[in-house]
């Protein structure tokens, strides 16, 4: 039978499998299991470790899935493994064998697969979708999504909604045009496409014919000068979430291209935004732009997590997101209305705050200067905080409906940033900017924060020497799990932030944990192997992270057997 639409919709509530990226389509990364608790988590022990093997040992950002006792996990360089979840033995492996000339900006990462029916589906660094048979690993279909030689790639996990496979694309540093697309998971046939730069049209495909379905929210060229919209970026590189209650896909969009904002006066829709998209035809229901006219590479891709906001005796269908730009936003997910926003980092220099609509109030002299003012040379350098790698980057938050808190993996750093002249050339970097990232504090960069979406206050924090670059998970056992670049897999008390467990996996962690139940016992898994954007673009922070181990291993934990009776 395999995974059904019903399995996907109920993923958060069913404990014996994990069939969606996000541990539920709404992306809360919350498990209702409480077998593991603040009392017993200190006894957690590894039960198996599976190595991806070979030489491709870096950048393991994947969140595994588990169905019927089999784990499906992607690895860097566009690989997928099926592993016996009980024993850790390999069942099959698939390697997309990438061509020379792929252009991922920020390491050779992949964040996970989708499961549907008898298929495992994922996106590759040469911008293809690949569907494999879940039992054999044999290719069922391969579909080109975009031209990798123009800078497109796919690093996000696809999601399946109402029988459609939904994917985004990467490439914002190369002047690609972002898009969200739906495909038939059985055949790979395209169903609709929704470009995310104003001016590019969306299409629904009926019987192989393209039917234009217009664009919401503005006219071509309205928020972009001249032809700049043609290579406007706004990559949908982190994929999305889905809320069944409002029947909306929520996708974020990356930076407008190029980074040099003086070349593109205007808001540059729909860059650095969250979009609510109709899964039936790809039309945009509403948009919320976190950084209009972005000049700092504050991509707006970070996940929008649906939750019930219980306030003043009412329950509001809300959603929240912690943005690269340092602000956390609580929105009404029915219409995109701004409820509130607040900083989740120690310091924000580029904006003085948010206005009543959630639009930033720009700080004077916060924007890097125009090279035109310096006779076409490097423009005026500014110090901006957070750095472009973000108050938070791709690594997902978790929301616990019991504590009503968000657990946000964040970082404290600043950057020197300046602009340079640039023009678009296919397949070349399209930044028009330079930068150096610096730690904001001597003793820590990473901060795992518990944030209250009602008050905007930080309830507790855990400080980490290196930047935190792994995802977070929370459980009904009042626990929060995450990993560190130093190699530790850690568990915290969800209410107090007290560290309750740590285990050194031997390699830096940039993966995202999951939990499920098998044979009556609660299991936890995490993919390990240091990599991602920090060692590549971290500037002075690269010194802090240079000794962390790359690798490629899935670690799986549970309580020792002799503990079962006593629980
Ligand atoms: O604009 C884009 O298309 C794009 C793509 C990606 C990616 O696909 O990984 C990243 C970024 N931008 C980016 O700005 C960024 O900081 C980043 C960090 C990472 C990572 O995996 O560590 N990817 C990306």
**pLDDT tens per residue across span 411-453:** 999 999 999 999 999 999 999 999 999 999 999 999 999 999 9
3-state secondary structure of 357: coil
User: What does the pLDDT read at residue 370?
Assistant: 95
Q: How is the chain split among helix, strand and coil, in percent rounded to 5?
A: 5, 40, 55
Q: What percent of the chain has a predicted confidence (pLDDT) above 90?
A: 94
User: What does the pLDDT read at residue 277?
Assistant: 97
3-state secondary structure of 149: helix
393 lines ligand 1 (CB under 6 A): yes
**Is 16 in the active site?**
no
Tokens 């792929």 correspond to: 102
What are the CA-CA distances from residue 221 to residues 3, 5, 229 (Å)?
A: 43, 39, 7
Number of residues assigned to the chain = 567
- Residue 565, pLDDT > 50, answer no
ipTM, two decimals, is 0.99
The Å distance, Cα 150 to ligand 1 centre, comes to: 16
Ligand 1 atom with the smallest distance to the CA of 531 is 22
User: What does the pLDDT read at residue 484?
Assistant: 98
For the chain, the average pLDDT equals 96
Strand locations in 35-189 (E): 45-51, 65-67, 70-75, 79-84, 90-95, 114-116, 119-123, 128-133, 139-144, 159-161, 164-167, 179-183
The mean pLDDT of 177-187, rounded to a whole number, is 98
Pocket perturbation via mutation, ligand 1, pick of 74, 151, 394, 413 by most ligand atoms within 8 A of CB: 394
User: What does the pLDDT read at residue 5?
Assistant: 98
DSSP letter for each residue of 486-547: TSEEEEEETTT--EEEEEE-SS------EEEEETTEEEEEEEE---SHHHHH-TTHHHHHTT
Strand locations in 207-301 (E): 209-212, 240-243, 248-252, 273-277, 284-289
List all residues 6 or more positions away from 313 whose beta carbon is below 8 Å from its beta carbon.
Answer: none
Ligand 1 atom with the smallest distance to the CA of 153 is 8
Residue 461: CB atoms within 10 A of its CB come to 16
3-state secondary structure of 73: strand
pLDDT in tens, 362-378: 999 999 999 988 887 89
| Cα–Cα dist 137/541, whole Å | 39
User: What does the pLDDT read at residue 374?
Assistant: 83
- Residue 218, pLDDT > 70, answer no
Q: In what order do the strands lie in the sheet containing 382-384?
A: 382-384, 413-419, 433-439
- Residue 263, pLDDT > 70, answer yes
pLDDT in tens, 387-417: 999 999 999 999 999 999 999 999 999 999 9
3-state secondary structure of 286: strand
- Which residue out of 35, 126, 294, 297 is catalytically annotated? 297
- Residue 566, pLDDT > 50, answer no
- Residue 356, pLDDT > 70, answer yes
Write down the pTM of the prediction.
0.98
| Cα–Cα dist 193/362, whole Å | 34
294 lines ligand 1 (CB under 6 A): no
Closest CA to 166 of 298, 274, 289, 21: 21
Instruction: Decide if 469 contacts 486 (C-beta within 8 A).
Output: no
- Residue 289, pLDDT > 50, answer yes
Among 17-21, 170-174, 371-375, 377-381, the least confident range: 371-375
Instruction: Decide if 392 contacts 322 (C-beta within 8 A).
Output: yes
- Residue 299, pLDDT > 50, answer yes
Residue 62: CB atoms within 10 A of its CB come to 32
Instruction: Decide if 152 contacts 140 (C-beta within 8 A).
Output: no
The Å distance, Cα 232 to ligand 1 centre, comes to: 16
Instruction: Decide if 123 contacts 129 (C-beta within 8 A).
Output: yes
pLDDT in tens, 61-78: 999 999 999 999 999 999
pLDDT band at 168 (very low <50, low <70, confident <90, very high): very high
User: What does the pLDDT read at residue 567?
Assistant: 41
């Amino acid at each position: 039978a395999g995974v059904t639409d019903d399995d996907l919709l109920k993923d958060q509530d069913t404990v014996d499998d994990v069939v969606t990226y996000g541990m539920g389509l709404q992306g809360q990364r919350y498990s209702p299991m409480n077998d593991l608790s603040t009392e017993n988590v200190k006894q957690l022990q590894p039960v198996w470790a599976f190595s991806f093997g070979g030489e491709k040992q870096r950048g393991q950002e994947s969140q595994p899935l588990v169905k019927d006792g089999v784990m499906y996990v992607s690895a860097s360089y566009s690989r997928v493994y099926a592993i016996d979840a009980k024993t850790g033995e390999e069942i099959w492996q698939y390697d997309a064998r990438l061509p020379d000339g792929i252009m991922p900006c920020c390491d050779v990462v992949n964040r996970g697969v989708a499961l549907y029916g008898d298929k495992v589906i994922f996106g590759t660094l040469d911008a293809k979708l690949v569907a494999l048979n879940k039992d054999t690993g044999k290719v069922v279909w391969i579909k080109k999504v975009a031209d990798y030689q123009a800078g497109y790639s796919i690093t996000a996990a696809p999601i399946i909604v109402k029988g459609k496979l939904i994917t985004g694309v990467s490439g914002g540093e190369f002047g690609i045009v972002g898009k969200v697309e739906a495909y038939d998971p059985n055949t790979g046939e395209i169903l609709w496409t929704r470009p995310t730069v104003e001016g590019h049209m969306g299409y629904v495909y009926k019987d192989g014919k393209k039917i234009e379905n217009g664009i919401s929210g503005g006219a071509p060229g309205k928020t972009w000068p001249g032809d700049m919209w043609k290579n406007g970026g706004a990559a949908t590189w982190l994929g999305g979430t889905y809320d069944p209650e409002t029947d909306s896909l929520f996708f974020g969009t990356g930076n407008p291209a190029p980074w040099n904002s003086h070349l593109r006066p205007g808001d540059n829709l729909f860059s650095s935004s969250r979009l609510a998209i109709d899964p039936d035809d790809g039309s945009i229901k509403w948009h919320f732009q976190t950084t209009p006219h972005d000049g700092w590479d504050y991509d707006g891709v970070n996940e929008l997590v649906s939750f019930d906001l219980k306030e003043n005796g009412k329950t509001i269908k809300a959603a929240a997101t912690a943005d690269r730009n340092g602000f956390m936003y609580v929105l009404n997910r029915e219409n995109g209305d701004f409820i509130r926003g607040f900083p989740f980092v120690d310091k924000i220099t580029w904006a003085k705050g948010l206005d009543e609509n959630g639009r930033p109030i720009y700080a004077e002299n916060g924007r890097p200067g125009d090279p035109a003012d310096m006779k076409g040379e490097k423009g005026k350098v500014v110090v901006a905080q957070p750095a472009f790698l973000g108050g938070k980057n791709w690594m997902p938050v978790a929301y616990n409906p019991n504590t009503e808190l968000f657990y946000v993996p964040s970082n404290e750093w600043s950057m020197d940033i300046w602009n340079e002249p640039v023009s678009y050339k296919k397949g070349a970097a399209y930044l028009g900017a330079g930068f150096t990232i610096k730690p904001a504090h001597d003793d820590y960069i990473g901060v795992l924060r518990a944030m209250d979406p009602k008050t905007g206050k930080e309830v507790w924090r855990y400080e980490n020497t290196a930047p935190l670059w792994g995802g977070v998970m929370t459980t009904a056992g009042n626990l929060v799990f995450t990993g560190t670049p130093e190699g530790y897999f850690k568990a915290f008390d969800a209410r107090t932030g007290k560290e309750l467990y740590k285990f050194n996996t031997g390699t830096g962690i940039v993966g995202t944990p999951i939990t499920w139940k098998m044979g009556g016992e609660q299991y936890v898994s995490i993919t390990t192997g240091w990599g991602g954007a920090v060692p590549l673009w971290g500037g002075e922070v690269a010194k802090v992270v240079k000794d962390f181990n790359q690798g490629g291993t899935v670690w799986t934990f549970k309580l020792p057997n002799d503990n079962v009776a006593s629980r």
